[in-house]
């Protein structure tokens, strides 16, 4: 049998434990022994933390060992040190206290580490396929995907069947996430092609058949604006209540719109709500809905949609600009869309 040789830090732990037990036996006091041992080992004595309810002469200490550093092995070796240098006996009774999850986690880890004699890459791939409940793809496609993924995994240096077996649940989760990402990308690509590809005019329509109407009694913001970004007397908001603003810049945009409305350039405007069924205007995207900030009714009946974006979110709002621009383009001049940042009111000005 090959003898296990401890690593340097493991041997250092055992040496410090032995020194402490020797001091406990010699001095007869766990507190004094702890202070003396820590001062001897590290140059400065540490305060002893006794456990309430236990005898003061019972030695108590904690070992700080890195994850995967052999804590169980060190604890077992410490038992021998206790018998030899403290209790001076050959055998002793050990009470091992663990958390409720410890046994379950240990059994799981042992199960993952177990490799049956007939376990091979084919059976691993079959297990992964069975445990990937993805109804959007056929079983044959799933098999091909998993087989390719497993082959690429085994091509990596140091990755073998034993390691794959230990990590098969992690592999399953990664495969599931990858399939989800690929599906989302495919849906988005198809959606973008439908909306923005050639001949989109024959597939996408903006007309009165799909008209959204703000009901006079249907405005229910989760939070009303309470003046936290400043005070302004709004006179041209369609409703008596005004939903809260996300930022001071958004509040400034609302003030600018209301000022233009007071000049007669806008009939009225609405602070659009987000995810409020029945009282929120939205444009559908491949991966969700776009709820613009403001809708304005112009004197000639044209609807102007205004979205204010912070400069830090301008780049990620490309999809919102595309869908808003397409909606306006296909409306036949009845709708307009503008997205601005940095209080560039001239962008809205050009649409009035």
CATH of 208-349, one of 3.40.1350, 3.30.70, 1.10.540, 3.30.310: 3.40.1350
Q: For residue 296, which of 326, 256, 325, 241 has the smallest C-alpha distance?
A: 256
Residue 338 C-alpha from the chain's centroid: 32
Q: How far apart are CA 172 and CA 127, in angstroms?
A: 9
Q: What is the pTM of this model?
A: 0.53
Sign of CA dihedral 156, 159, 165, 168: negative
Q: How far apart are CA 337 and CA 304, in angstroms?
A: 6
* Angle 323-329-330 from CA coordinates, rounded to 5°: 95
Structure tokens given for 305: 């949609």
Note the helical H segments in 167-303: 168-196, 248-262
Note the helical H segments in the chain: 8-27, 30-42, 71-82, 100-113, 121-130, 139-154, 161-166, 168-196, 248-262, 318-329, 346-349
pLDDT value of residue 2 = 47
Residue count of the chain: 352
Beta bridge partner(s), residue 224: 243
| pLDDT tens-digit map of 317-339 | 888 888 888 888 888 888 999 99
Q: Any idea where the domains of the chain sit in the sequence?
A: 8-87, 121-196, 208-349
What confidence category does residue 58 fall into, taking pLDDT thresholds of 50, 70 and 90? confident
Q: For residue 50, which of 15, 24, 19, 76 has the smallest C-alpha distance?
A: 24
pLDDT value of residue 14 = 87
Q: How far apart are CA 57 and CA 31, in angstroms?
A: 8
In this prediction, residues 92-103 reach a mean pLDDT of 73
Helix axes 168-196, 121-130, angle to 10 degrees: 60
Is the predicted pLDDT of residue 79 greater than 50, yes or no? yes
3-state class percentages of the chain: helix first, strand second, coil last, to nearest 5? 50, 10, 45
Contact predicate 35/46, CB 8 Å: yes
* Angle 21-19-31 from CA coordinates, rounded to 5°: 55
Q: How far apart are CA 129 and CA 173, in angstroms?
A: 12
* Angle 166-167-168 from CA coordinates, rounded to 5°: 100
What confidence category does residue 291 fall into, taking pLDDT thresholds of 50, 70 and 90? very high
pLDDT value of residue 265 = 95
Q: For residue 33, which of 42, 14, 46, 52 has the smallest C-alpha distance?
A: 46
| pLDDT tens-digit map of 232-275 | 999 999 999 999 999 999 999 999 999 999 999 999 999 999 98
Contact predicate 124/164, CB 8 Å: yes
Neighbouring CB atoms inside 10 A of 276's CB total 17
Contact predicate 77/123, CB 8 Å: no
* Kind of pairing between the strands at 268-271 and 283-285: unpaired
**Residue 277: HSE in the Cβ half-sphere, 13 Å Cα cutoff:** 0
pLDDT value of residue 302 = 92
Contact predicate 86/19, CB 8 Å: no
Is the predicted pLDDT of residue 5 greater than 90, yes or no? no
In this prediction, residues 278-290 reach a mean pLDDT of 84
In this prediction, residues 3-14 reach a mean pLDDT of 79
Structure tokens given for 256: 């600018």
| pLDDT tens-digit map of 126-162 | 888 888 877 778 888 888 888 888 888 888 887 777 7
pLDDT value of residue 105 = 64
pLDDT value of residue 288 = 81
Question: Could you tell me what percent of the chain has a pLDDT over 90?
Answer: 24
């Amino acid at each position: 049998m090959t003898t296990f040789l401890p690593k340097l830090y493991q041997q250092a732990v055992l040496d410090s434990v032995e020194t402490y037990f020797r001091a406990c036996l010699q001095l007869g006091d766990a507190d004094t022994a702890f202070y003396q041992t820590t001062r001897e080992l590290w140059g400065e004595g540490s305060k002893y933390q006794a456990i309430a309810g236990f005898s003061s002469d019972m030695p108590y200490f904690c070992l700080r060992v890195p994850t995967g550093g052999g804590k169980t092995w060190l604890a077992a070796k410490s038992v021998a040190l206790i018998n030899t240098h403290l209790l001076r006996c050959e055998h002793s009774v050990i009470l091992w206290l663990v958390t409720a999850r410890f046994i379950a986690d240990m059994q799981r880890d042992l199960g993952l580490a177990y490799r049956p004699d007939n376990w091979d890459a084919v059976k691993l791939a079959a297990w992964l396929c069975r445990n990937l409940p993805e109804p959007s793809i056929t079983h044959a496609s799933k098999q091909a995907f998993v087989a390719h993924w497993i082959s690429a995994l085994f091509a990596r240096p140091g990755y073998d069947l034993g390691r794959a077996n230990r990590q098969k649940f992690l592999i399953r989760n990664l495969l599931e996430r990858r399939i989800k990402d690929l599906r989302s990308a495919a849906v988005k690509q198809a959606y973008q092609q439908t909306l923005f590809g050639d001949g989109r005019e024959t597939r996408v329509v903006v007309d009165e058949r799909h008209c959204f109407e703000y009901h006079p009694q249907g405005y229910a913001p989760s939070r009303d604006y309470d003046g936290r970004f400043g005070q302004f007397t709004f006179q041209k908001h369609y409703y008596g209540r005004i939903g809260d603003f996300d930022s001071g810049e958004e509040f400034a945009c609302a003030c600018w719109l209301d000022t233009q409305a007071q000049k007669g350039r806008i009939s009225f405007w609405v602070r659009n709500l987000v995810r409020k069924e029945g009282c929120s205007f939205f444009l559908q995207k491949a991966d969700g809905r776009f709820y613009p900030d403001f809708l304005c009714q112009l004197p000639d009946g044209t609807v102007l949609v205004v979205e204010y974006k912070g400069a830090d979110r301008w780049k990620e709002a490309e999809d919102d600009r595309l869908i808003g621009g397409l909606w306006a383009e296909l409306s036949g001049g009845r709708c307009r869309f503008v997205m601005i940042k940095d209080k560039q009111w001239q962008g809205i000005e050009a649409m009035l």
